[in-house]
Amino acid sequence: MIDVGIIGFGKMGRIRADEVETSGRGRVTRVYELDSEARFDHPRAGSPEDVIDDPSVEAVFVCTPNHLNRPLTIAALQAGKHVFCEKPPAFTSSEVQEIRQAEEASGCKLMYGFNHRHHESIKSMKSLIDSGEFGEVLWMRGRYGKSVDKSFHDHWRANPEISGGGILLDQGIHMVDLFLHLGGTFDQVEAFVSKLYWEMDIEDNVFAILRDSGSGRVASLHSTMTQWRHLFSLEVFLSKGYLVLNGLRTSSRTYGDEVLSIARNRSAAPAATWEDEERITYHDDTSWASEIGHFFDVIESDGPVAIGSSADALELMTLIDTIYERGKRHE
């Protein structure tokens, strides 16, 4: 049984606590939450340091606003704790390098909550791509958008000093991570980062084109908070067919049914028809349990983090840095 401490007991902290307890492999022994009026049954800590310095705590979950992710992760690693941290890992790739140094020195496990990799639909796509059955990835297109209202101005995510950025770090980061997970690396980037509607100090739209100069593979991203109807769509077209995922089962239930369409191409036009598609609907969101299971497996086996490692985080944040950098050229 792994004793867990959680720093930050908002939405994500509560989700993680529930999954830890439900797994039967861990128990939550200390919780710190800034809101003194928040109610929970777990023993309350007086500060993040109380969680980190508790000798009985083996693993620390960092579920805080973005600006605290890096310092709390480093502090927990330096205290000899395994760490699970929500995304983004930090504000920049150089900050992730700092975290990796602390990780290496500690000998502890560090895993990041790149949750979308754990959805069953994404696992199916990854398996089919890796099998080679559908050939090589030619291109990918990802659209991920949500709608916010004026109350968003009062949320910490609207403050760049706390959030580190806008919709790209909040939501688009998941789609960029899936591009890397399913398609490989990208070394060429063009991007437009804009404030099209909401008058805030963070971006509300990002349009980016990513390209791997070696293979010529291209990925197209649109990340937006002016999508008045929440939308998730990930298309992967390969030399022998395609995989299209529309909708995503999330805790908010606002992205519709999670439906994966699969089809092979044909030599004669039309390459595929709607009738050719196999469609799989995923009714349950098992991603949270999958993440906790992987984290506990890594701790118990002393094995490597296969999904959501600090190496994954560094590659991802390097690409995020470049998207922001390219976007500034067009402001």
- The pLDDT assigned to 264 comes to 87
- The pLDDT assigned to 331 comes to 66
Write b or e for each residue in 105-135: b if 16 or more Cβ atoms lie within 10 A of its Cβ, otherwise e.
ebebbbbbbbbbbbbbbbbbbbebbeeeebe
What number of other Cβ atoms are within 10 A of residue 240's Cβ?
A: 12
Contact between 137 and 129 under an 8 Å Cβ cutoff? The reply is yes
- The pLDDT assigned to 268 comes to 63
pTM: 0.95
Give mean pLDDT in consecutive 10-residue pieces for the chain, a chain of 331 residues.
96 95 96 88 94 97 97 98 98 98 98 96 98 96 95 92 96 98 96 92 96 97 96 96 94 89 76 77 94 97 96 98 90 66
If you count them, how many residues does the chain have? Answer: 331
Write b or e for each residue in 299-314: b if 16 or more Cβ atoms lie within 10 A of its Cβ, otherwise e.
beeeeebebbbbebbb
Q: Which domains are assigned to the chain?
A: 2-115+289-306 (3.40.50.720), 120-248+250-283 (3.30.360.10)
What number of other Cβ atoms are within 10 A of residue 39's Cβ?
A: 8
Q: Please compute Rg for the chain using Cα positions.
A: 20
Q: Between the CA atoms of 136, 256, 306 and 235, what dihedral angle is there, to the nearest 10 degrees?
A: 10
Contact between 20 and 292 under an 8 Å Cβ cutoff? The reply is yes
Token pair belonging to 33 = 């939450």
Residue type, 195: K
Distance in angstroms (rounded) separating the CA atoms of residues 29 and 324? 40
Distance in angstroms (rounded) separating the CA atoms of residues 100 and 103? 5
**Exposed/middle/buried for residue 167 (C-beta within 10 Å: 0-12, 13-18, 19+):** buried
Distance in angstroms (rounded) separating the CA atoms of residues 88 and 83? 14
Token pair belonging to 292 = 């906790």
